[in-house]
Chain A
Amino acid sequence: NAGVMQNPRHLVRRRGQEARLRCSPMKGHSHVYWYRQLPEEGLKFMVYLQKENIIDESGMPKERFSAEFPKEGPSILRIQQVVRGDSAAYFCASSPLPGNEQFFGPGTRLTVL
């Protein structure tokens, strides 16, 4: 089992562009969590998805951010019209059941110029 995969590992965007971050959960895991880590801070929960459903998006900014986890393919975190404040490390985690141990991916480091 390859573990949680995230790509790209590094992403550079200019202000106003779109950023798409991908997360492939571990085999057999249908629960995906996205977290954001700003410089000098801990990880902050953004959104929890189960296949084809958003279960909890209480940590997502109201504008420009969206997430999906389609029936086939990876989970996508999409940031439209990026701003410098979006520069952060974005981590994805997966688990086989809600409340079970979460397994983390290596993260995507987004830099907005």
Chain B
Amino acid sequence: AQRVTQPEKLLSVFKGAPVELKCNYSYSGSPELFWYVQYSRQRLQLLLRHISRESIKGFTADLNKGETSFHLKKPFAQEEDSAMYYCALSGRGNQGGKLIFGQGTELSVKP
């Protein structure tokens, strides 16, 4: 079955601390993985995708096919990183590119 799991509903860290948001997936083919972010009162927006291998706003995520994980990391959290984060997958070659989302993790960065 196709599934994305984010085990933490809420993650609270202090400013300057490292942060890791966990994401595990289940997919029978070759998936494409994404992290989307929703800041307060804003729309859901793409943060990064694994094929681009970019670092956006200091965040990185590496696809680990052996562990079927795509954890999101940042070495030094900032208060403006506080938001809702969703991990999602799409099957490569999947007709249309529909996204399968995890339940989301709320990141709270305290001063």
Contacts and interface: CB of A to CB of B under 8 A. Distances in A.
Nearest to B92: A99
A48 interface: yes
Contacts of B49: 101
B40 interface: no
A43 B43 contact: no
A95 B98 CA distance: 11
Given A31-B96, A33-B98, A41 B43 contact: no
Contacts of A40: 103
Nearest to B32: A99
Interface stretch (A16-24, A63-71, A75-83, A102-110): A102-110
B13 interface: no
A12 B80 CA distance: 33
Interface residues of B, number: 22
Interface string A1-21: 001100000000000000000
B43 A105 contact: yes
Given A104-B43, A104-B44, A95 B100 contact: no
Contact of A42 (B32, B94, B97, B102): B102
A55 B100 contact: no
B25 to A, nearest CB: 13
B95 interface: yes
Interface string B4-28: 1010000000000000000000000
A55 B96 contact: yes
Interface string A32-49: 010100001111110010
Given A42-B103, A43-B101, A104 B95 contact: no
Interface in B96-111: 96-104
Most buried by B among A41, A91, A100, A104: A104
Interface of B: 4, 6, 32, 36, 43-46, 49, 86, 90, 94-104
